[in-house]
Structure formats: structure tokens, C-alpha cells
Structure 1
Amino acid sequence: MNHNSTIEADTAAVRALLERTCEAWGRGDGAAYGESFTADATDVTFVGTVYHGGEEIGRAHQVLFDSFLKGTRLAMKIVDIRFYGPDTAVVVSHGDVYKTKPKKLGKVQTYTVVRQQDGQWRIAAIQKTKRQNLMEAISFRFQPASRPRTSR
């Protein structure tokens, strides 16, 4: 397998991993959601809660799926996937939780994903941040040089 086809296969595998998290969320299946994470993963929610390990992440999400996240789905648009060696990638995505139809994707997620010894890609870390569009616009207006070269 040449380098480009390896990258294409790994990119497809990482995308499939993140799609599985969305599917597990949509089913309200905390265990399946947690299985997408490494045993020592870190999940930092947009409200600042920190969960450790796939088992805890899955258990906590099951509680949420059974209560105020009941019947919700997870929308995600991958913005960038960058590989750092053969077994590590960083993924930036926009996403949000919805019930009937996804609205504006108001969160930014940064994933660190790793290929484990069994050959499967899993999430080692995720940081979710709620976008503050008004604050961002004000910052760019008064400090235009702070605007990223590419706004996504």
C-alpha cells in the first residue's frame, strides 16, 4: 500500500469512528459511545466537566441519554483531519446536539484519535467548546489581525 492510499484508508477509518459516535448517540447507547474511546481517554465537555476513560464516558453519557439528552442526535461536520505519524490524528469538527433538525453547529470539537494495538482507531481526547460568535466578531472588528487566515 502506498503512502497516499494509507492516508486515504486511515482518513476513512477516522471518519467512520466519528460516525459511530454519532450513531451511538442517536440510539442513546452510552456503552457503544464509550467504546469509541480509549480506556484512558479524556473528555472535556463544553461546560468544563472532565470524564476519564471510555467506561466512565459511556456510563455518564448513558445517564444523560436517559434524562435531558433523551431523544437527541449529534450533528457533526469534520473541518480538518491531520495525521501526526502513522497512529495519531487530530480532528477539528463543528457540531451540536439536536432533536428534530440540526441548527447552526455551535460547538467546536478537537479530537485526538489513536490507532491502538488491535488496529482500531479510538478517541484518546476530546475538547468541546461552545462558539461565542458575538465575542469573536467583536474581537475581529477591533483587532482585525487576530482573525485566522481561514475562518471555518
Structure 2
Amino acid sequence: MDTEHIAARIAATVEAWAAGDGAAYAANFTADATYVTFVGTLYRGRDEIARAHQALFDKFLKGSVLVDDIADVRFLGADAAVVTSRGDVAKHGGRPAKLSKVQTYTLVREADGEWRIAAFHNTKRKALMEKVSFAFAPATAPA
């Protein structure tokens, strides 16, 4: 059941992104959340996440959609979970051919019983570097 609630929370971020609504997007995060973008920008707190994302939705990410496929949910007790997913942004709707980013979410169950994102980290995959590493050191490849 908690896994479904967590997946629904992440799905709500996807919906808010598609709507271009920074406040709705940030509402999925805790008030003191941290958010690291794939370029390394660090946002602190729901208000900053809302403000920055609204600016992105109004300009660079206008009309874009977020794709986020959950790969794993791991519980760290009754009220904390780590989610790993693959995702990307499609500028003009649809689904990107490749999901070039890996995301890590830390979610917590807050006092109101709702799961919210306390920390988010987004990493751009470097497929060529992975291939080189795996070729020269095969033991570095994931199972």
C-alpha cells in the first residue's frame, strides 16, 4: 500500500510538470526539501522549488512533459523510503526515445500521514563513459 502511495506522489509531480504548475509541483515536497538538478543546482525548500520551477515552466521547459519510470522502492523503516527511477524531459510532449537521467528520491511520511519528497537528486547518464568503463573494467557493470 505504501508503495502505491509513493508511486502516486511521484506521478503527481509528473502531472504538475505537464500542467506547467510550479506550486503544484513543489507541493509534493516537504517544506524543507533539498533538490539537486542534473547540472548541479541545489534548491532548498518547497518555496524555492516552486519559484524556480515556475520560471523554468514559463521559459525553458514550457510545454514539456516529464517521464519518470520507477525502478526500485526501498523502505528504510515505516516512514522513510528511497526511490530510484529513470527519467527525462520531452520538450514537445510524447516520450523521449531514451531515458537519459537517473533520479534518487528520499520520501518521508509526514505527520499528516502523507508521503512527500524530502530530497531529490537528478543525474544525467553518460552512456559512452559507462561503455568505456564496462569495456576496460567489466566488473564495474551492474548485474
Please give the range of the TM-score, normalised by the shorter of the 2 chains.
over 0.9
Shift of 1:107: 0.3
Query: Counterpart of 1:86 in structure 2: which amino acid?
Result: A
1:29 pairs with 16, 21, 41, which one? Answer: 21
Q: Hey, what does 1:18 align to over in structure 2?
A: 10
Query: Counterpart of 2:100 in structure 1: which amino acid?
Result: G
**1:3-42, Cα deviation, whole Å (9 max, x unpaired):** xxxxxx1000000000000000000000000110001100
Task: Assess if the C-alpha contact under 8 Å between 2:134 and 2:140 holds in 1.
Answer: yes
In structure 1, how many angstroms separate the alpha carbons of the residues matched to 2:3 and 2:22?
A: 25
Query: Counterpart of 2:138 in structure 1: which amino acid?
Result: P
Q: Kindly, what percent of the aligned residue pairs are identical?
A: 59
Q: CA RMSD in A?
A: 0.6
- Residue 67 (str. 1) matches residue 59 (str. 2): yes
In structure 1, how many angstroms separate the alpha carbons of the residues matched to 2:49 and 2:109?
A: 19
In structure 2, how many angstroms separate the alpha carbons of the residues matched to 1:44 and 1:100?
A: 24
Structure 2 gaps of 5+ residues are none
Moved over 3 A (4+): none
Q: Hey, what does 1:140 align to over in structure 2?
A: 134
Q: TM-score, normalised by structure 1?
A: 0.91
Query: Counterpart of 1:82 in structure 2: which amino acid?
Result: R
Shift of 1:102: 1.6
- Residue 101 (str. 1) matches residue 94 (str. 2): yes
Query: Counterpart of 1:100 in structure 2: which amino acid?
Result: G
SS in 2 for 1:139: helix
Shift of 1:71: 0.3
In structure 1, how many angstroms separate the alpha carbons of the residues matched to 2:34 and 2:114?
A: 18
In structure 1, how many angstroms separate the alpha carbons of the residues matched to 2:67 and 2:135?
A: 30
Query: Counterpart of 1:132 in structure 2: which amino acid?
Result: K
Q: TM-score, normalised by structure 2?
A: 0.97
Q: Hey, what does 2:117 align to over in structure 1?
A: 123
1:113 pairs with 87, 107, 118, which one? Answer: 107
Shift of 1:110: 0.3
Shift of 1:101: 2.0
Query: Counterpart of 2:87 in structure 1: which amino acid?
Result: G
**Matched pairs, number:** 141
